[in-house]
Structure 1
Amino acid sequence: MEVYSNENEQVDAIKNFFAENGKALAVGVILGIGALVGWRYWNSHQENTSRESSQAYETAVAAVKANKPETFAAAEKFAASEKNTYGAFAGLELAQQFVDANQLDKAEKQLQLGLAAASDDNLKSVINMRLARVQLQMKQPDAALKTLEGIKGEGWAAIVADLRGEILLSKGDKQGARAAWEAGVKSNASPALSEMMRMKMNNLSI
């Protein structure tokens, strides 16, 4: 750190600094302003895009809930094109409608698309859980077990254990099903879910 004996030396030092670094400072200021303007534009763009996606999502879901098959095409297009949370939620809505209509292959497709669009771990877990249930209904137990592996988080342990038991039982693996349900009962299962898994274990011996 330089030490100056009077104010004139300080002024001269400042002048020399700007003479040597003025151009760099000017560029820095310009870049700083540009970054600020760009950041504000990006935020505005993101807000507009999010608002548009939200409105399009509401329209798509309304079409799905109207339960008119002819309107599903637009909703399916939206779910396939929106690679974000809105697209994932739209896929879930469509999948439920297809399950209710017993069109399980179409439900599976929507859930796979939703899974690819989702970024939130909890949302991914919800989709994986529903996908595993659909695959079980489609008599694809191995695929369902594989799907369960994608569900992370201690909070899901009991629900996953319950469904794993169902899948293993569908394969004729009673011992594996019992082990899954026993693990579920020992986890953080709710009283109702624990009781249900105990009943399932009791039914294995009948």
Structure 2
Amino acid sequence: MEVYTTENEQVDAVRHFFAENGKALAIGIVLGIAALSGWRYWQSHENTALTEASASFQQASAALVDNKADSVANLEKFAQSNTNSYGVFAALQLAEHFAQAKDFANAEKQLTLASQHAKDDNLLSMVNYRLARVQLQENKLDDALKTLDNVKGDGWMAMQQEVRGDVLLAKGDTKGARDAYSKGLDSKPSQTLLTMLRMKLNNLSS
């Protein structure tokens, strides 16, 4: 690195540097400002879009709860056109609606859509957990086992193993079901689930 001994030499060096690099620096500054402006615009656009999505979701969701005409169709349209978390919530609500009506095919359709759009790992595990339960109701046992593989996280382990045990039992695999229920008991389940798992294990022993 050069060392400049006088103030004039330092000034001349700075002038020389800008003479050679001034254009590149100017372009860099312009690009930096443009990038910053673009980033701020994108953030503003995203925030506006999420605010609008939130309001639309609340309106469509309330209509479904109130059993208003065309409420299911409107919420379905919302779920399909929104790939953010609100679209996932809409699909989850629709899946619950269909499951209560014993329309498991449409419940599976909505949960599959939700699984494609869910970006948060915990939310994705919840979607897949519900999807596996619906697939069990449809007797799609192999599909349910594959779906359960995507239910991850310690907080979901006990619930995942309970459904896995139910699926394996439906397939006639009593030993596999017993192992799954036992793993669920070892996964620190809630008190309610603990009681349920013990009851299922006891039924296998009887």
Into which bin does the TM-score normalised by the smaller protein fall?
A: over 0.9
The amino acid across from 1:139 in the alignment is N
For 1:2, the equivalent position in structure 2 comes to 2
The amino acid across from 1:128 in the alignment is N
Q: Deviations over 1:63-101 (max 9, x none)?
A: 221224622111101101111211111000001111111
| Residues 1:165 and 2:165 are matched in the alignment | yes
Query: Does the residue aligned with 1:139 lie in a helix, a strand or coil?
Result: coil
> Which residues in structure 2 correspond to 1:2-21 (within 5 Å)?
2-21=2-21
Number of aligned residue pairs: give it: 206
For 1:58, the equivalent position in structure 2 comes to 58
| Residues 1:102 and 2:102 are matched in the alignment | yes
- Structure 1's unaligned 5+ residue stretches are none
Task: Give, in whole Å, the separation in 2 of the partners of 1:139 and 1:29.
Answer: 62
The amino acid across from 2:121 in the alignment is D
Task: Give, in whole Å, the separation in 2 of the partners of 1:5 and 1:167.
Answer: 82
| Residues 1:77 and 2:77 are matched in the alignment | yes
Query: Does the residue aligned with 2:70 lie in a helix, a strand or coil?
Result: helix
Query: Does the residue aligned with 2:2 lie in a helix, a strand or coil?
Result: coil
TM (norm. structure 1) is 0.94
- Structure 2's unaligned 5+ residue stretches are none
The amino acid across from 1:40 in the alignment is R
Task: Give, in whole Å, the separation in 2 of the partners of 1:183 and 1:73.
Answer: 41
| Worse-matched range after superposition: 188-197 or 156-165 | 188-197
Task: Give, in whole Å, the separation in 2 of the partners of 1:184 and 1:29.
Answer: 58
- Going from structure 1 to structure 2, the CA distance change for 1:187 and 1:197 (only over 3 Å counts) comes to same
For 2:111, the equivalent position in structure 1 comes to 111
- Going from structure 1 to structure 2, the CA distance change for 1:137 and 1:69 (only over 3 Å counts) comes to farther
For 2:37, the equivalent position in structure 1 comes to 37
| Residues 1:201 and 2:195 are matched in the alignment | no
Instruction: Give % identity.
Output: 54
Q: RMSD in angstroms over aligned alpha carbons? A: 1.4
Task: Give, in whole Å, the separation in 2 of the partners of 1:96 and 1:77.
Answer: 16
For 1:89, the equivalent position in structure 2 comes to 89
| Worse-matched range after superposition: 193-202 or 125-134 | 193-202
Q: Deviations over 1:15-40 (max 9, x none)?
A: 11111111111111111211121111
Task: Give, in whole Å, the separation in 2 of the partners of 1:132 and 1:5.
Answer: 76
**4+ aligned runs moved over 3 Å, structure 1:** none
For 2:25, the equivalent position in structure 1 comes to 25
| Worse-matched range after superposition: 2-11 or 185-194 | 185-194
